[in-house]
Copies of this chain bind each other. A is one copy, B any other.
Amino acid sequence: MKYIDKLRNSGLRPTKQRLQICEVLFNTERTFHFTINELEQKIKDRIDNKISLATIYNTVHAFEKKGYLKQIPVNSNQTYFDTNITDHHHFYNLKDGKLIDLENSDVGPINIKRKIDGKKIKSIEVLVKLED
């Protein structure tokens, strides 16, 4: 019951819906990027019962807050998430709106030399936009 513990350990009740969403998000060979609409579709395809769109939003946000998902900053009308929560960056294909992981070794270390008083760095994200 790996997801039950995962959820309980982070203070989230292991409800049927959350466990099912965990299956879709985390029980995979590879990590992946998604928008809420894409996730909704994936869930529909794999799950018998219906999960309300509001619950999908709630769950994704709860998981993000707990650090199980990352939001990727892109210019799009939809929000992109990533199940890969390790430090890494992205190509963004402007033509089809798809993201491609960039390993850290593909980018090299990024050292931010400037500091802002009273603030600390939460994340450093590189977005490489691709065109034809």
- Residues on A lying within 8 angstroms of B by beta carbon are 71-75, 79, 91-94, 100, 102-103, 105-108, 110-114, 116, 118-132
Contacts and interface: CB of A to CB of B under 8 A. Distances in A.
A17 B106 CA distance: 45
A48 B72 CA distance: 40
Given A73-B75, A110-B126, A122-B129, 11 more contacts: A71-B75, A94-B122, A102-B114, A106-B112, A107-B112, A107-B113, A122-B130, A123-B128, A123-B129, A125-B127, A126-B126
Contact of A131 (B91, B111, B114, B120): B120
A132 B122 CA distance: 9
A127 B127 CA distance: 8
Nearest to A131: B122
Given A107-B110, A108-B113, A126 B129 contact: no
Contact of A132 (B71, B75, B118, B132): B118
A121 B129 contact: yes
